[in-house]
Chain A
């Protein structure tokens, strides 16, 4: 074992990327590369939007153009350059692609080529098991969407965001852009100008959705930005679990994914938002996600980041009302030439709020993981608590990890705990597992699975299985 030379022959090369199949392009409309007023107007016209949304988009475009490239993505407390964005060229991206004229209501109506892609991703299979409703985003427009009658009867709205704008304008306008204002950062401004698709959920007071609502996203065009916009409103005392999984095929030039996710958690409501993202290694994944909690509201982010060239994502919870609660659980896996700059932000503005952050990161083959977090206690955060735990597993000598916590404390009567560990797979652990007959690879995988188990155990069963498969695939042969 000791004299083993690392064998990288099994390591997936870029061309082997598991979901890197590319289908024939079936789009009926594709905007020109680059971004200007005409393109934004075109997008809005194609979608048949009201003037209100067009003006919103145009204003956002102005703001996007004015804002500098971030050396700070998410406001001033990021004083360091989080990730390298120098190769990102806004003029070389297609901002809108509409894959087919109309949206499929039943599986049969979905075009065959798109269906084949979903088949490869296992969507219908997944549906049979757990789905309450599927809202799958193929390129920029939702093409397939079904929903169980039960949810409808309860008054739950679950549709793509474009549909919500058309069919539920009052509730849409009341909340859209209120959690993450356009000017929050350059990428939220960009998303506000060109957004397309995403999921919209409204859960009426007291309604508890028993089954998770799920969506599957996929970028299928070279250099096409994916700018989905998700808005979830959980009214008083309600509960919803939204699950989203992403894979993307591989292309030769860089692709940008820049989503905005806004969550409104009303009094005593609870929202759980689960994401697994497995981007191809050339994708910039720059996502702004934030929830606002009213009194007794409970927001849970479960966030898994695998792949991409650079991910910058810090799920945030702002606790505005007394007794607000935030749980943020994340994993990040960075391999060769990948940088996962991920973390969490919690802001406590009322008494007796609690926040728990658990971050697990793995770096290998020269990959870089950064935990970047904010814990902010406002003047009125009397009796609030935050507990932050960051664990990193580094698989080889060339990979790195950083932990960058920011704390802002304006109240004396609070509690803040921060714990960080960095570990390696130990020789004795490997020996132990191998002495029971597991190969070195199997043993390493088992240790890694164990490391991320606090995350996987929170996933719905089928996602946990998929997650384990992904991690196994990622780790194959990556240990010498």
Chain B
């Protein structure tokens, strides 16, 4: 097998508290590729992100998911992370009393494994340089993890973690929401700096805006808990210009959401 990371989903179905939200998702993301999943609110996009990372609230009831050929669904959350999956969360938790840098170093070391810990100096140098890219003040290193961060600061912090952990496959869940245009550019720059064959990315977003700065290779439209249409970057542009109605019309969908009632 090549070194390129690979995430392959086959007919993934997910329930929350007994209600089916995802109704058969198929997608393959390889190193070097950036995929965007777009869709209106309530169609199950974020559920896909959390379920793949293994949030205990979401139950995958059928389907297959493989990360670099290994069964993702057999892994605990932390094993998924160490295997190279990353989720930039829409609402990252706040952890009081734990500094950003302590947390990041623990995470980096958890991935590197015992006996292979990063030296403190090297870690600091690396974090400093990534924070520069993201135009984050150095004081964020010593602030408590996400505590009192603004929405935009949290998003930058998620990208900082991604850049430090260097995952093979990253899922960015609405990383653009709540960002002004300058912050958006900075975050996009962070993501673009990682673009290479060892990195594949799935961007989940409502808006095409972010995709002006991170050019996707593939665009997928998400409705009723699955991908209903796929295409290239031009699909995103059309969605931005015309909205989602034409897709619904084309596919005969009346209500694009899932799990209502």
Contacts and interface: CB of A to CB of B under 8 A. Distances in A.
B97 A450 contact: yes
Interface in A409-443: 426-429, 431-440, 442-443
Contact of B78 (A429, A434, A447, A450): A434
A438 B110 contact: yes
Interface string B62-101: 0000000000000011101110001101001101111000
Nearest to A438: B110
B95 A438 contact: no
Contact of B89 (A427, A432, A454): A432
B53 interface: yes
Nearest to B88: A435
21 contacts: A431-B54, A432-B89, A432-B95, A433-B93, A434-B78, A435-B81, A436-B81, A437-B78, A437-B82, A437-B107, A437-B110, A437-B111, A438-B106, A438-B110, A440-B78, A446-B95, A447-B95, A449-B97, A449-B98, A450-B95, A450-B97
Given A1-B54, A439-B110, A452 B97 contact: yes
Contacts of B165: 436-437
A437 B56 CA distance: 16
A451 interface: yes
A65 interface: no
B78 A438 contact: yes
Nearest to A426: B93
Most B Cβ at <10 Å: residue of A429, A434, A439: A434
Given A436-B107, A437-B82, A438-B110, A450 B144 contact: yes
Contact of B98 (A426, A439, A453): A453
Interface in B180-234: none
A434 B98 contact: no
B106 A435 contact: no
Give the interface size bracket for A toward B: 20 to 34
B55 interface: yes
Contacts of B97: 449-454
Nearest to A429: B93
Contacts of B110: 436-439, 442
A2 interface: yes
A449 B82 CA distance: 23
Given A433-B93, A438-B110, 19 more contacts: A427-B56, A431-B55, A433-B95, A434-B54, A435-B54, A435-B77, A435-B78, A435-B86, A437-B78, A437-B165, A438-B106, A439-B78, A440-B76, A442-B110, A446-B95, A446-B103, A450-B96, A451-B96, A453-B98
Interface of B: 53-57, 76-78, 80-82, 86-87, 89, 92-93, 95-98, 103, 106-107, 110-111, 144-145, 161, 165
Instruction: Tell me if A's interface is mostly helix, strand, loop or mixed.
Output: helix
Given A426-B93, A431-B56, A439-B110, A446 B98 contact: yes
B60 to A, nearest CB: 12
B76 A1 contact: yes
Contacts of B76: 1, 434, 440
A104 B165 CA distance: 53
A452 B98 CA distance: 10
Nearest to A446: B98
A427 B57 CA distance: 9
A2 to B, nearest CB: 4
A115 B91 CA distance: 54
A289 B78 CA distance: 45
Contacts of A428: 93
A451 to B, nearest CB: 6
A312 to B, nearest CB: 27
Contacts of B78: 434-435, 437-440, 443
A429 B89 CA distance: 12
Contacts of A427: 56-57
Contacts of A443: 78
Contacts of B111: 437
A447 B96 CA distance: 8
A84 B216 CA distance: 67
B254 to A, nearest CB: 34
A427 B76 CA distance: 14
